[in-house]
Amino acid sequence: MQTPNLVQLSQNVNEQGAQLRYLTESVLDLRRRVTAISAEWKLHQMGKRPRFPVEFMSQFGEDLFFWELFGGRFEGFYIEVGAYDGYRASVTYAFEAVGWTGLLVEPLPRRFAECAARRAASRVVHSALGKRGASGEIEITAVKDDEWDMSSYTGDHPMQRASLDQTKFEREKVRVPLTSMDAVLEATPGGPPAIDFAMIDVEGSEVDVLEGFDLRKWRPRALMLEDNTFGKDLRLTNYMKGQPYLFFGWLGVNQIYIRNDDQELIRRAPLVRV
């Protein structure tokens, strides 16, 4: 019996893995396109027009998940922390296009300006978010690259440093405003509407943001929280165990939570597939 060539086997496995990833991304891209066309057609039937072309832009289909979770509604209120330029990899772009409004928070000065210009129907805040009572300024490690600046981070995060150390991109320290989500919401004229969902993507500082976001007071119906450690760092999981939310699984690098008294979404969430 001929001994298997381990090098060749490894190459075959890698090639098959690459093909599977390509097919998965192709299917996801097709779903993005079909869902966008369907949304625009439904708006047309309602005698309405989108604010701008409907595009589902998220990295892992997070926007498709929320779209199905909320039954393809054309109005609602979202929060996106780490909104970047309001377009690339945005979880909320398609929602604003069809009629939703929301709150977008972005600390990088240039990306905040782009987001504010692009997302006129949302309130766009230039700030990093921290724990309850956070104020003043905070230092951000900003990546000087038009793609990798998405990986800019606050504080000291060894995981982020290790990932960036594998690149040749320059980094710089930038000071930006600091506040808490509670303070931002309390400053909303007339108070914020009921929050349908919140997406928090802050490169390792998710727990700090949550400690300044009173979930019992503001009661977002659904949460998606980035966790690039895939659960190895237990801080986020342990924090959420003390909150009135049920864990519903993962989408890409994101943990999904539904408020534990929201029977409608609790019934619907297991049926959503992305």
- Rounded mean pLDDT for each run of 10 residues along the chain, 274 residues in total: 67 77 90 98 98 98 98 98 97 99 96 98 97 94 71 60 63 91 95 97 92 98 95 94 98 98 98 88
**pTM for the full model?**
0.88
Burial group, residue 20, by CB count within 10 angstroms (0-12, 13-18, 19+): exposed
The amino acid at residue 198 is A
pLDDT at 143: 80
- DSSP output for the chain: -PPP-HHHHHHHHHHHHHHHHHHHHHHHHHHHHHHHHHHHHHHHHTT---SS------SSSHHHHHHHHTTT-S--EEEEES-TTSSTT-SSHHHHHHT-EEEEEE-SHHHHHHHHHH-TTSEEEE-EE-STT--SEEEEEEE-STTGGGG-EES--HHHHHHHHTS---EEEEEEEEE-HHHHHHTSTT-PPPP-EEEE--TT-HHHHHHTS-HHHH--SEEEEE-TTTTSSTHHHHHHHTSSEEEEEEETTEEEEEETT-HHHHHHGGG---
Position 166 scores a pLDDT of 62
User: Thinking of the domain 49-271, which architecture would CATH place it in?
Assistant: 3-Layer(aba) Sandwich (3.40)
Q: What pLDDT sits at residue 5?
A: 75
CB contact at 8 A, 96 and 128:
no
Q: In the chain, what are the domain boundaries? A: 49-271
